[in-house]
Each structure stands twice: as structure tokens, then as C-alpha cells.
Amino acid sequence: MSSDAIVPQFNIHDAKTNLSRIIDRVEHGEEIIISRAGTPVAKVIPLHPRVKRTGRGSLAGQLVAADDWDSAEVNDSIADDFGLTP
């Protein structure tokens, strides 16, 4: 939403009465301001999930692990990167 766009504003009573409508608008990309006595107190914004996976195994066949992915040398190297080696 651009910074010069007018953001719809609802007082708390109207927001409670119209919550389903407000959520629908937010799901379609709008931002909504909730006010108490004319003073903005909250902003309802859309959440955009980072990853949409269909379930377990959704990346099957798309990832390739090196044969030595769990070798002692690799584990020691990772531990050293994190400062976990003596």
C-alpha cells in the first residue's frame, strides 16, 4: 500500500460489528486502522505466508544431499563455525 493512500478507519464498536467484513478486506490486501475515541490504536494488515507447502514430503525429489552430508568432518566443520568445538 502506498504511503499516500487513505487507509480505512473503524472505531472499536464498528470494528467488532464488522469484523468479518474487515478480515475479508484485509485478506484482499487492504490495511485497516482501528481507533478508540478517534485516536488510531491498531492497524490490521494482511499476513503473507512465506512458504506454501502441501504437506510432509512436499520437497521430495527437489533436494539433493551430498553423500557426506552427515560425516564427522562436516559435523566438526559446522560445530567449528558455531564455536562449539573445544
Three-state SS sequence of 34-72: EEECCEEEEEECCCCCCCCCCCCCCCCCCCCCCCCCCCH
**CB atoms < 10 A from the CB of 15, how many?**
19
Residue 32 class from Cβ within 10 Å (0-12 exposed, 13-18 middle, 19+ buried)?
A: buried
Instruction: For 19-29, write each residue's pLDDT tens digit.
Output: 999 999 999 99
Cβ contact 85:79 at 8 Å: yes
Instruction: For 11-56, write each residue's pLDDT tens digit.
Output: 999 999 999 999 999 999 999 999 999 999 999 999 987 776 677 8
**pTM of the predicted model over 0.75:** no
Residue type, 9: Q
